[in-house]
Amino acid sequence: MMQATNLTRSISGALGWVMSIGVAIAVAQQRVPQQGHGPLPVQNFQPLQLLILHLPVEGTTLTPKGHWAFSVGLAESNTLNQRGKEAKNTALVFDLETSRVTLGIKYGLFDRLEVGIDMPILFRWGGFLDRFIEGVERAVGKLNTDRKNGPVNTVRFHLQREGETVFRRGDSAVGPGDLVFGAKARVWNEGKRVPALATRLMLKVPTGSEDRLLGSGTTDIGIGINLQKTLWRLVLYGNLNAIFPGGALVDRDLDTHPFLTAAWGGEFLWTPHFSLLLQTEFYQSAFADAGVEELDRNLWELAFGFNYAVTPHLLWQLGGIQNLVVESGADFSLLSTLVYHF
């Protein structure tokens, strides 16, 4: 009789736990937001490509009419591109870190339109990530052998082409970059079978120092389309952009041409406040036949991270970006962004 009672209690307890878990899951599902917090706002952080306008990865969500969104972003990018031994009359060494702090503000002008401005501050220095990145590259099977053989945490930033020096920088530099003005409009909302669609227009003006390689010295224009679709707890994102640089860089020695960028990825809504991100980006090179693979080659990258809603008004995004084409991109970047809505 005692054994039967114990068995009954065990079964009742197990059923209680199952019901509790089921209720918790049901409540969590009800509380998960219908829209995601957004993808990681990454762009091409290679130190020369960075001077040209790139549209950061975004979803279709807009700042509500009459409201503001203030953001502070930090991208810490480590780059090691080296060429010279096998290329006659050509030498390229990009061995440095770039810290890019971006102060941004957006305003909901209408129900379907927001406008904004981004002010970047660039800091080019030796950094601290060399050994850490070597470990990451080993883990993903994309080891840059020049990192192991070269000096650690130094600034070597120069390019020689056809026997002539295009630029040479061996010291740190800090200052404002080029201002970027932007607008995003929602074309239509998400439907049961149709993703939400938004369009973007961005304008970069030359406010950064061209001599110190903190700005391009040109006015660039970019247009893009954004797609967003929610499938239960998974939010899918897609971007396609066309950028039109205003001219050549570095005393007009490096010609540019119109180019495309694209991104797609997903956000898994773990809880109403926390989500996981995985996305990939493609960047066509902005340079037109520079004659150097590190500048001419297109770039693929993989980004991963999370969103955390600290409060209903404050969002924190943290992620890493690993290049999948060693020659043409920043080796690894860390990105952290805070967005406050009011």
Residue 187 belongs to a domain with what CATH number?
A: 2.40.160.40
**Residue 257 falls inside a structural domain:** yes
What's residue 3's pLDDT? 44
What's residue 28's pLDDT? 44
- Taking the C-alpha atoms of residue 301 and residue 315, their distance in angstroms, rounded to an integer, is 24
**Residue 117 falls inside a structural domain:** yes
**Residue 264 falls inside a structural domain:** yes
Q: Which helix (H) or strand (E) holds 21?
A: helix 2-31
- Taking the C-alpha atoms of residue 322 and residue 280, their distance in angstroms, rounded to an integer, is 10
**Share of residues in the chain with pLDDT > 90 (%):** 59
Listing DSSP states for 237-278 in one string gives EEEEEEEE--S-BTTTTB-B--EEEEEEEEEEESSSSEEEEE
**Residue 147 falls inside a structural domain:** no
- Taking the C-alpha atoms of residue 325 and residue 294, their distance in angstroms, rounded to an integer, is 10
**Residue 154 falls inside a structural domain:** no
Compute CA distances 221 → 131, 224, 258, 307, 329, whole Å. 37, 10, 10, 29, 22
What's residue 94's pLDDT? 85
For the whole model, what pTM was predicted?
0.83
Q: Could you read off the pLDDT of 213-223 as tens digits, one per residue?
A: 999 999 999 99
Compute CA distances 321 → 66, 280, 294, whole Å. 34, 9, 18
Residue ranges of the chain with per-residue pLDDT less than 70: 1-34, 84-89, 142-150, 326
**Residue 214 falls inside a structural domain:** yes
What's residue 148's pLDDT? 65
**Residue 286 falls inside a structural domain:** yes
What's residue 19's pLDDT? 46
Measured torsion, CA atoms of residues 79, 151, 124, 116, in degrees rounded to the nearest 10:
20
**Residue 274 falls inside a structural domain:** yes
What's residue 331's pLDDT? 82
The residue segments making up the domain with residue 292 are 33-72+102-121+176-341
Q: How many domains does the chain have?
A: 1
- Taking the C-alpha atoms of residue 342 and residue 339, their distance in angstroms, rounded to an integer, is 10
Compute CA distances 190 → 60, 107, 109, 123, whole Å. 9, 22, 21, 40
What's residue 312's pLDDT? 93
